[in-house]
Amino acid sequence: MPSITSAGVGSGLDVHGLVDKLVAAEGEPVKLRLDRKEAKLQAGLSAIGTFKGAVSGFQSSLDALRNPDTFGNLEVTSSDEEKLAATAGKDAQPGDYDIEILQLARAHKLSSASLESDRLPQGSGSLTIQLGRFDNESRRFVMNPDIPAKTINITEQNASLRGIQETINQADAGIRASVINDGNGYRLVLSSLVAGNDSSIRIKVNDNDGTDRDMSGLSVFAYEPDSQPGTGLNMNEVVATQDAKLNVDGILLSRSSNDIDDVIEGVTLSLKPDSEGSHNRLNIELNTAAITDSVKNFISKYNEMIDVVNKLTGYDAETKTAGPLSGDASIRGVINQIRRTLSDDFSSVNAKYDSLSSVGIDVQRDGKLVLNSNKLQTAIDDDRQQVVQLFSISGSSRDPAVRYLGADDETKTGAYDLVISRMASQGAWGGRPLTGFPVHLDEDDNSFRLKVDGVSSQTITLSAKDYLKQTELLQELQNQINSDSNFQKNKVSVEAHFSKGRVLLVSRRYGSNSSVEVIQADKGLKQNLGLQVSHGINGEDVAGSFNRVAGMGSGRTLTGKGSAEGLKIEVQEGAPGERGQVFFSHGVGARLYELSSQFLKRDGIISIRSDGYSDRIRELDKDREKLEHKLETSRKRYLKQYTTLDATLGKMRATSSFLSNQLGSLPGAAKPSSR
């Protein structure tokens, strides 16, 4: 029968304590080695994070420099901001202006008669809302071509004043509706959202009670400017329309809005309430402080990055310790690529300011950048466009009638010789020659339909009357055509002209998709206006080349191919032939930003190095698991060995005790003395 043993029981040997010490002695050196290795890897991982933060901060400083708007930041100052405010866009130029505000634009406002309830139904049918102006001479309402008409249906569900108010406000018809309690009843108030004489309100009613212009049912909301009160002119005019009038440097101007963006190029003027009669001085000047601040921030962040790199990769002679990334070639590689980009040459686009050094940014002996502010300011004052091209993604043209639109990632920095072989043209239609004026048009014989830029119109009707002048007829034609709802919906419009005694209709679009066609005309228009059913001449796209490589034209836009791949310009005016050079630059600010993005992206070199450290730290965890498994095996082995030894020693001690007792009992054996 096997005996039951317990470690340490046989001989009194501390087997467990001895095994623990043996296991510890075996594992401690390996554990210390793994701990030292992990500490080094953790330091490296932390250092990579610090370096990544420095590169990210450097990249952020480049955001302003790569944006051409930073270099065109204009500061606008008004002598009285409470009377006249202004903002300047990228096309604005420095200058001073004297502006007198003679009259503010006002939006049209109508009010219905006082009604008994705002909850009871007022009738059913439809309301057609139009914005435009009433022409007193022709007695016609001329729609604003920029604001299409909207028809809203009134049923039992929305027939109350509140329902009509909500339906109008949801229709996006260019007006706002409200309901006012005047103390005696409720009024529907309609306000145009657009000021000026071209945005008067017209309400055309289709009343299900069979009468559209009386004072019952929906007809109480009719507002027909050519009618009389109570018979179509049923709402009250609360505020009449008027255009804004102002005197800019001695030039009298009128505009339909109090926010005016087409008087001074690139500048939006905002005429404030109570500003009528005020004299204001407007100053626009370049804010060069924004440029200088952006450059200083770029230099500061670059130098901070260099300090971080030196600390992480350098050697401290005093402490005789190396940085956690000492010897890391990838970090040095990142910095070397950035330094090479700092020295890029831009002489292909800039004749004078072709390097950072040329605008006062130099590299010191310690590798950091230093700025000569006076030299930078001189460059900005001398040729701001070259400074823009040195830093940002930008383009320009020597020909003022050629406008740079943009480029893509494939476009190469350089100067491109532009040759235009064909100017863009507009689609046009010409009628038969007129016999002369006056031109008479009869009722029911004065309608036609067009197709412009591929869009077919509804039936267009001209006023039945005698037209005494060319201008009168052209205005009627252009207004009625451009008021067509199909054309407004598709942003299609035409210009009407006379050429060699004929009516000429010209699409406002340029290019091969531009066309004008008469698809139907009443007999009277054919005879009196020469409006024959026929197709006009299609427009053509611009054609030309960059550095003798043909581009692709679309309307007035020419897109480059070859080295100019993706370069887009708009040829606005002029004639075919050599049009000078177009410049495109992927400036140093843009290049450094994109280079930093490559380093910082998820699969970039910094993330790869960081992931490498993390992977090696995870491998250490596996090594520790292996070590624990090995030490557990050793523990079991030691425990077995020393338990066996303990048992053996116990048996030997028992045998020794037995023999001692037996020998002591033999005759003649010495006995222990007792005293």
Whether residue 353 is found in the same domain as residue 455: no
In tens, the pLDDT along 420-454 reads 999 999 999 999 998 888 999 998 899 999 999 99
**Burial bucket for residue 573 (CB in 10 Å: 0-12, 13-18, 19+):** exposed
Two structure tokens written together for 591? 């290049």
Write out the DSSP string of 243-285: -EEEEETTEEEEESSSEE-SSSTTEEEEEPTT-TT-EEEEEEE
The one-letter amino acid at 564: A
Whether residue 264 is found in the same domain as residue 292: no
Task: Classify residue 351: in a domain, yes or no.
Answer: yes
Task: Classify residue 39: in a domain, yes or no.
Answer: yes
Edge-first strand order for the sheet with 259-260 is: 84-88, 267-271, 259-260
Q: Report the pLDDT averaged over residues 25-36.
A: 80
pLDDT at 141 over 60: yes
Nearest to 588 by CA among 411, 340, 360, 406: 340
Nearest to 424 by CA among 558, 565, 561, 568: 558
Nearest to 133 by CA among 367, 438, 483: 483
pLDDT at 675 over 70: no
How sure is the predictor about 1, in pLDDT bands with cuts at 50, 70 and 90?
A: very low
Q: Nearest 5 degrees, angle CA 423-CA 429-CA 431?
A: 140
The rounded mean pLDDT for the chain is: 89
Whether residue 79 is found in the same domain as residue 46: no
Task: Classify residue 515: in a domain, yes or no.
Answer: yes
* Domain end (from 286, 313, 345): 286
Parallel/antiparallel/unpaired status of strands 426-430 and 439-440: unpaired
Task: Classify residue 182: in a domain, yes or no.
Answer: yes
> For 434, which DSSP code?
P
Question: Which residue spans within 383-501 are E strands per DSSP?
Answer: 393-397, 402-406, 414-422, 426-430, 439-440, 447-452, 455-456, 460-461, 466-467, 494-499
pLDDT at 190 over 80: yes
Task: Classify residue 417: in a domain, yes or no.
Answer: no
Whether residue 160 is found in the same domain as residue 262: no
**Do 502 and 430 touch, CB atoms closer than 8 A?**
yes
Whether residue 136 is found in the same domain as residue 163: yes
The one-letter amino acid at 107: A
SS (H, E, C) 535-589: ECECCCCCEEEECCEECEEECCEEECCHHHCCCEEEECCCCCEEEEEEEEEECHH
**Do 376 and 296 touch, CB atoms closer than 8 A?**
no
How sure is the predictor about 90, in pLDDT bands with cuts at 50, 70 and 90?
A: confident
Whether residue 297 is found in the same domain as residue 341: yes
Whether residue 264 is found in the same domain as residue 306: no
In sequence order, the β-bridge partners of residue 93 are none
Whether residue 364 is found in the same domain as residue 301: yes
Write out the DSSP string of 168-183: HHHTT-SEEEEEEE-S
Whether residue 325 is found in the same domain as residue 367: yes
Question: What does the pLDDT read at residue 4?
Answer: 43
Could you tell me which residues come within 8 angstroms of residue 540 by beta carbon, excluding any fewer than 6 positions away?
422, 424, 425, 511, 512
How sure is the predictor about 5, in pLDDT bands with cuts at 50, 70 and 90?
A: very low
Question: What does the pLDDT read at residue 670?
Answer: 63
> For 69, which DSSP code?
G
Task: Classify residue 82: in a domain, yes or no.
Answer: yes
Q: Nearest 5 degrees, angle CA 233-CA 238-CA 239?
A: 110
Two structure tokens written together for 474? 């052209």
In tens, the pLDDT along 142-178 reads 888 778 788 899 998 999 999 999 999 999 899 999 9
pLDDT at 260 over 80: yes
CA distances to 228, 259, 646 from 210, in Å = 19, 43, 120
Q: Considering its fold, how many domains does the chain have in total?
A: 4
Question: What does the pLDDT read at residue 435?
Answer: 84
Nearest to 234 by CA among 112, 151, 116: 112
Task: Classify residue 180: in a domain, yes or no.
Answer: yes
- Please tell me the distance from the alpha carbon of residue 240 to that of residue 238, in angstroms, as a whole number: 7
Question: Which residue spans within 112-199 are E strands per DSSP?
Answer: 125-135, 140-143, 150-154, 175-181, 186-195
- Please tell me the distance from the alpha carbon of residue 35 to that of residue 37, in angstroms, as a whole number: 5
pLDDT at 7 over 70: no
- Please tell me the distance from the alpha carbon of residue 650 to that of residue 461, in angstroms, as a whole number: 126
pLDDT at 243 over 50: yes
Phi, psi dihedrals of residue 597, rounded to the nearest 5°: -60, -40
What sign results for the dihedral spanned by CA atoms 54, 56, 62, 64?
Answer: negative
CA distances to 254, 259, 277, 286, 538 from 263, in Å = 10, 11, 19, 19, 33
Question: What does the pLDDT read at residue 176?
Answer: 96
In sequence order, the β-bridge partners of residue 557 are 554, 570
Q: By residue range, what is the domain housing residue 41?
A: 1-73+287-392+588-649
Whether residue 149 is found in the same domain as residue 229: yes
Whether residue 32 is found in the same domain as residue 146: no
Whether residue 207 is found in the same domain as residue 149: yes
Two structure tokens written together for 146? 């920029």
- Please tell me the distance from the alpha carbon of residue 545 to that of residue 673, in angstroms, as a whole number: 131
Question: What does the pLDDT read at residue 573?
Answer: 93
> For 197, which DSSP code?
G
Number of DSSP helices (H) and strands (E) in the chain, helices first: 11, 39
Could you tell me which residues come within 8 angstroms of residue 395 by beta carbon, excluding any fewer than 6 positions away?
404, 406, 407, 567, 569, 582, 583, 584, 585
In tens, the pLDDT along 557-589 reads 999 999 899 999 999 999 999 999 999 999 999
Q: How far is C-alpha 621 from the geometric centre of its chain's CA atoms?
A: 47
Pick the range with the lowest mean pLDDT from 44-48, 137-141, 239-243, 580-584.
Answer: 137-141
Question: What does the pLDDT read at residue 11?
Answer: 61
pLDDT at 654 over 60: yes
In tens, the pLDDT along 103-127 reads 999 999 999 999 999 999 999 999 9
Task: Classify residue 487: in a domain, yes or no.
Answer: yes
Token pair 């043996």 in the structure block, residue: 22
**Burial bucket for residue 611 (CB in 10 Å: 0-12, 13-18, 19+):** middle
Question: What does the pLDDT read at residue 610?
Answer: 83
pLDDT at 338 over 90: yes
Cα(first)–Cα(last) distance of the chain, in Å? Answer: 46
Nearest to 546 by CA among 423, 425, 424, 414: 414
How sure is the predictor about 10, in pLDDT bands with cuts at 50, 70 and 90?
A: low
> For 242, which DSSP code?
B
Q: Check which CATH number belongs to the domain holding 498 and give it.
A: 2.60.40
